[in-house]
Amino acid sequence: MKLGFIGTGVMGTGIIINLLKANYPVVVYNRTKAHAQTVIDRGAVWADTPQAVAEQANIVFSMVGYPQDVEQVYFGKQGLFKSAKSHSYFIDMTTSTPTLAKKIAELGARDHLHILDAPVSGGDIGAKKGTLTIMVGGKRSDYEQLRTIFEVIGTKIHYFGPAGSGQHAKMANQIMIAGTMTGLTEMLVYAQAAHLDLNQLLDAVGTGSGANWSLSNYGPRILAGDYAPGFYTKHFLKDLRIALDEAKRLHLNLPATTLAEKLYAEMSEKGLGNSGTQALIKLYQSTK
């Protein structure tokens, strides 16, 4: 069984390495070949186009940056669907729109393809350790067929319903993270102004009712001055905008998420789009 993987960014690289460790042969494509060198050195085989990946693999994963990138990967002139073999599986792990996930599934079904949307949570650490949370939408039978592969890269795999449901679950996840990231940032700003020991505070809050993933994983990075992207600010901003667009369609008002979107938009305007989401604290530091 040969797997295909489109996208060798921070997350994709960790996932591909774990698939290789599990002895799955993997053929890969990335817009910039140099960024795929790490997985090529570990045994992945390079393909020149997404179409070439689909020609070689019956199960193809994609994890790219934006919905427009997903559109190009699947429907472009050299896209996956140009040479997709009947009854092949295609799993988009990009955090994208539920509408696009449904479109891919509907068009894929016409050619007897099995389509899943399966965005993940867990950041670069989860990708490296194989401990991602995977949120799946599509046909349950297709989900069950691929569960063994999902278990190589994740420890929590949840099936949520038909096409688009995985993306809706990821939007709910991102709404929650928006709150924990603003909470973490303002906690540290407040505590520093009050002259508290920040390392001691992280331990105290992290073992109490304020414990959360953002605090445990990004708190220490902030104190170390490490703003390298476990998850890019520009991608989180994209996610928040998708979530707010979907909220409008559901006739919902999400004021806290709206504020988070404004803060991350300001970060991008200040040239912090390629920093990790924990760089949010720089907005507060710059106002002193």
Q: Do residues 126 and 209 both lie within one domain?
A: no
Using the 3D structure, point to which of 98, 133, 162 is the last residue of a domain. Answer: 162
Q: Do residues 129 and 194 both lie within one domain?
A: no
Please state the pTM of the whole predicted model: 0.93
Q: Do residues 138 and 23 both lie within one domain?
A: yes
Q: Do residues 39 and 157 both lie within one domain?
A: yes
Q: What pLDDT does 230 receive?
A: 84
Q: What pLDDT does 172 receive?
A: 97
On average, the pLDDT of the chain sits at 96
Q: Do residues 217 and 84 both lie within one domain?
A: no
Q: What pLDDT does 285 receive?
A: 87
CATH number at residue 106: 3.40.50.720
Q: Do residues 175 and 60 both lie within one domain?
A: no
Rounded-to-integer distance, Cα 69 and Cα 87, Å = 24
Whether residue 124 is predicted with pLDDT greater than 90 in this model: the reply is no
Q: Do residues 112 and 247 both lie within one domain?
A: no
Whether residue 287 is predicted with pLDDT greater than 90 in this model: the reply is no
Q: Do residues 121 and 189 both lie within one domain?
A: no
How many CA atoms does the CB half-sphere of 196 hold within 13 Å? 17
Q: Do residues 268 and 136 both lie within one domain?
A: no
User: Would residue 170 show up in a list of annotated catalytic residues for this protein?
Assistant: yes
- Domain around 150: 3-162
CATH number at residue 268: 1.10.1040.10
The b-or-e profile of 139-151 (16+ CB within 10 A means b, else e) is: beebbeebeebbe
Local confidence band at 247 (pLDDT 50, 70, 90 cut-offs): very high
Exactly one of 170, 262, 270, 282 is catalytic; name it: 170
Whether residue 93 is predicted with pLDDT greater than 70 in this model: the reply is yes
Rounded-to-integer distance, Cα 287 and Cα 13, Å = 36
Q: Per residue in 34-63, pLDDT tens?
A: 999 999 999 999 999 999 999 999 999 999
Local confidence band at 288 (pLDDT 50, 70, 90 cut-offs): low
> Is residue 16 a contact partner of residue 28, using CB atoms and an 8 Å limit?
yes
Q: Per residue in 270-280, pLDDT tens?
A: 999 999 999 99
Domain count, the chain: 2
Mean pLDDT, range 82-89, rounded to an integer = 95
Using the 3D structure, point to which of 162, 182, 199 is the last residue of a domain. Answer: 162
Q: Do residues 156 and 173 both lie within one domain?
A: no
Rounded to 10°, the helix 165-193/213-223 angle is 50
Of all residues in the chain, the percent with pLDDT exceeding 70 is 99
Rounded-to-integer distance, Cα 60 and Cα 90, Å = 5
Q: Do residues 127 and 176 both lie within one domain?
A: no
Q: Per residue in 8-30, pLDDT tens?
A: 998 999 999 999 999 999 999 99
Q: Do residues 146 and 20 both lie within one domain?
A: yes
Using the 3D structure, point to which of 108, 140, 162 is the last residue of a domain. Answer: 162
Q: What pLDDT does 249 receive?
A: 94
